[in-house]
Amino acid sequence: MLRDRVQRSLAPRAVVALSRLRLPRPWNRRVRVELYFAYDDPYAALGLPGLLALTQKRGLELELFPLVERGIPGDPAAEQRRLYSIVDADRLARRDGRHLERREPLAPSDCAFLAAWTDVARGHPQAPVFAEAAVEELWLRSSGPLRREAYARLHRDILKSTPPIDEVRWQEALARNTERLHARGHWESPAARVDGEWFFAHERLPQIAARLDELR
């Protein structure tokens, strides 16, 4: 229907535009940088490492909210978007001399265990480093079925602990991440929220860097 097409086209633009209405910022308030991302999203393999580098350089914390559910509910073009995202993410990666090794879409359920492990690790100082290593292993260094042991090894090496065995118990927490994303007016991955302003992390890293410098 025309109404549905208009909503899918205009609503995302309105959310981003409203988030960029900048109000006076309280003096000396901590700059908050959040990233909502899905491991099954190839754009996350670009946005997460790039955003982590920006925050580390400026001594800021990057808060991660892994997603299993994302996108606009009922989007009839969802499958086409998933296929195109691989082609487009590879194009963006090649600008930096990298490329996507994985060329087939992943189902959210394929990566749910990684989202659970990341959510459990929230608050650990090395959690973003683990997420960066995992998403790069997933999209830039491997293909075919996911080998869980490879990611368990990353977990042990970086977080110095054994991954949680029962990821099912964390499904509610992951659902809350999606609810949190929607409550703040966004819908997709990888969405960076910088002091209340939304950016798509995989394609707006220079703008994010400029905004972070403005807030210092």
Per-10-residue mean pLDDT of the chain, 216 residues long, equals: 45 49 57 98 98 98 97 91 97 96 97 96 97 98 96 98 86 95 97 97 98 93
Residue 28 has a pLDDT of 58
Residue 25 domain-assigned (yes or no): no
Query: Does residue 157 sit within a domain?
Result: yes
- 15, part of any domain: no
Structural domain of residue 210, as residue ranges?
32-215
pLDDT of residue 93: 98
Give the total number of structural domains in the chain: 1
pLDDT at 71: 94
Q: What is the pLDDT of residue 169?
A: 81
| Residue 10 included in any domain | no
pLDDT of the residue at 166: 79
- Judge whether 11 lies within some domain: no
- The domain that holds 188 is classified in CATH as 3.40.30.10
pLDDT at 6: 40
Q: Is residue 3 part of a domain?
A: no
What is the Cα–Cα distance from 168 to 171, expressed in whole angstroms? Answer: 5
Say if 121 falls within a structural domain: yes
